[in-house]
Amino acid sequence: MCVFRDAGHPQARQNRSRRGVLMAEPLVDIENLSYWHKQGGHSLQVLDEVSIHLNAGEVVVLTGASGSGKSTLLTIIGGLRSAEHGKVRSLGTELVNSTEKQRVELRRRIGFIFQQHNLAPALTVAQSIQMGLQHSGNHRSKDASNRIAAAAEQVGLSDHLDKYPNRLSGGQQQRAGIARALVNRPQLVLADEPTASLDKDSGQAVLKLFDELAAQGSAVVMVTHDKRILEQADRILMLEEGRIVPTADRILKDTSNSLRTLMHLDSKRLGRMLSFGHALAQVALADGRVDGTEREAISEALSKREVFNGPEVELVVELALAQARAWTESAGDDASRSQLAEALSAVAEADNIVTDDERRVIDELLAQSAAQRS
């Protein structure tokens, strides 16, 4: 489940990340960054007073509409373009008014994953990964060949090391680009839609790899709309018209949109969908978490049951998951179960008559609660 914290200033000064990585100074520190694209004699503002901190051990997602400034921010963090206004410090390098030489040195320490894999047609997969080592000056190290083989294995390309790009599928080409970016075990990974060309299994493998990198102390920053990634991110930074949108504002806006959607749904159909979705969500939550593939499976099952459009189905999925989580938490300890039993009895006794059917349902619910706990 995504952990939403204050968009620009997370609980970033805490001692350790959720993966146990010690966090001292941020790997990336940005204050009041503004950026303009110059077009002819005109300037178009793309970033407006952006302030964020990115820490070791974090997986952070940048999301927002097309043209909101996501890719521009990513390229500034990576030293692919210079910044002139504000403060930008990336891996200890000051980037505002920096020289090209300083930015080149910074780029050697960063793993870049682009939407377009940018593989050289004349290089095999092994040679492309080796280019990543050459980029950082590590290609002559004694373990270079082992690192190339390990990077290929991590993305499932061990059997394709001698193949050229024209012999690879689009997903395989993307994975080769990812291996090239990660072979140096960079301290900072910047990725633009890294799973866009990948199937579910390959996408999950890449996300696991990112999580392992973060556990080793790297920071991973991604531009994406992939819900599989949103589920596993530590933080989600939302950009709108070049500004970081505070989480509270986004939640308020999303809640308003959700309420408008609910008002247009037939209550009986919605009830059926929620009951069905709740059952599916309980299965998905049995292992304590819901990943992207399980969420997609729930959405697909709901879509087959009722003719709802995409946003309506997504809303039902969120409601069902929230309901299932609340039910799971209510089974957490003896005190919670006692409160649940009292509440169920109070509802049954509200009309001064407790029927056998009501007692049966209460017993079934308490049995389910006990089963959840075990």
| Residue range(s) defining the domain that contains residue 180 | 28-246
Let me know if residue 92 belongs to a domain.
yes
Let me know if residue 17 belongs to a domain.
no
Quick one: 215 and 304 in the same domain? Answer: no
Whether residue 372 has pLDDT greater than 70 = no
Quick one: 178 and 190 in the same domain? Answer: yes
Quick one: 348 and 323 in the same domain? Answer: no
- Going by pLDDT thresholds of 50, 70 and 90, the confidence category of residue 20 is low
Quick one: 177 and 284 in the same domain? Answer: no
Q: Percent of the chain having pLDDT more than 70?
A: 75
Let me know if residue 2 belongs to a domain.
no
Quick one: 119 and 133 in the same domain? Answer: yes
Quick one: 212 and 118 in the same domain? Answer: yes
Let me know if residue 20 belongs to a domain.
no
Let me know if residue 132 belongs to a domain.
yes
Quick one: 166 and 301 in the same domain? Answer: no
- Judged by average pLDDT, the poorest of 37-46, 66-75, 135-144 is 135-144
pTM recorded for the entire structure = 0.64
Q: What CATH number corresponds to the domain at position 218?
A: 3.40.50.300
Quick one: 230 and 272 in the same domain? Answer: no
Q: What is the mean pLDDT of residues 233-259?
A: 70
The 3-class secondary structure across the chain, one letter per residue, is CCCCCCCCCCCCCCCECCCCCECCCCCEEEEEEEEEEEECCEEEEEEEEEEEEECCCCEEEEEECCCCCHHHHHHHHCCCCCECEEEEEECCEECECCCHHHHHHHHCCEEEECCCCCCCCCCCHHHHHHHHHHHHCCCCCCCHHHHHHHHHHHCCCHHHCCCCHHHCCHHHHHHHHHHHHHCCCCCEEEEECCCCCCCHHHHHHHHHHHHHHHHCCCEEEEECCCHHHHHHCCEEEEEECCEECCHHHHHHHHHHHHHHHHHCCCHHHHHHHHHHHHHHHHHHHHHCCCCHHHHHHHHHHHHHHCCCCHHHHHHHHHHHHHHHHHHHHHCCCHHHHHHHHHHHHHHHHCCCCCCHHHHHHHHHHHHHHHHHHC
Let me know if residue 13 belongs to a domain.
no
- Going by pLDDT thresholds of 50, 70 and 90, the confidence category of residue 120 is very high
pLDDT the model gives residue 355: 85
pLDDT the model gives residue 11: 42
pLDDT in tens, 186-225: 999 999 988 887 887 888 888 888 888 898 889 999 998 7
Let me know if residue 3 belongs to a domain.
no
Whether residue 172 has pLDDT greater than 50 = yes
Quick one: 274 and 138 in the same domain? Answer: no
The residue from 246, 275, 302 where one domain ends is 246
Whether residue 101 has pLDDT greater than 50 = yes
pLDDT in tens, 34-51: 999 887 778 888 999 999
Quick one: 222 and 110 in the same domain? Answer: yes
Quick one: 264 and 147 in the same domain? Answer: no
The structural domain count of the chain equals: 3
Quick one: 295 and 285 in the same domain? Answer: yes
pLDDT in tens, 269-304: 767 777 777 787 777 777 666 766 777 888 888 777
Instruction: Answer with the residue of higher pLDDT: 222 or 142.
Output: 222
Whether residue 21 has pLDDT greater than 90 = no
pLDDT the model gives residue 265: 61
